[in-house]
Amino acid sequence: MKNINGYYYVPAEDITLSANADNLEINSNYVHAQPTVSIDITGFQAPTSEDHASLVRLENDAAFGSGINITLKHLSGSSSAGNQIYCLGSVDIVLTPKQYALFTKVGKGYIMTAII
């Protein structure tokens, strides 16, 4: 966590992904996912540091117009129960390039709160 003029924040994390990700390890609450191909994410491995907030923003940082998507899998058994994603509408969600989703960490996983 960084303190700049009394304001605390966790720097963004860039993650390059070339395959589907189960229990994706994240080390920031602001994640720029840079997929090289369209992939699925089934869950996030919860940060263990108290520096991380319970809110997570995941952005598909693939080039606009590339067609490289990230599919967020709703309650996939491929990730541990405490790491699974609860998607809006209880269905898988596709993030196209430059879209992002917001999540709140709860005891049993991550609840998607918005798609932008």
Which tens digit of pLDDT belongs to each residue from 45-82?
A: 866 655 555 788 999 999 999 999 999 999 999 999 88
User: How many domains does the chain fold into?
Assistant: 1
Q: How far apart are the first and last CA of the chain?
A: 25
The closest of 3, 29, 33 to 21, measured between CA atoms, is 33
Beta strand 7-9 with 30-35 is unpaired
- Domain residues for the domain of 85 are 2-115
* CB-based contact 14:58 (threshold 8 Å): no
The closest of 72, 68, 105 to 87, measured between CA atoms, is 72
CA distance 50 to 58: 19
pLDDT of residue 77: 95
The closest of 27, 38, 43 to 87, measured between CA atoms, is 43
* pTM (global) more than 0.75: yes
pLDDT in tens, 6-58: 655 667 899 999 999 999 999 888 899 999 999 999 999 866 655 555 788 99
- Enter the tokens of residue 25: 């390890």
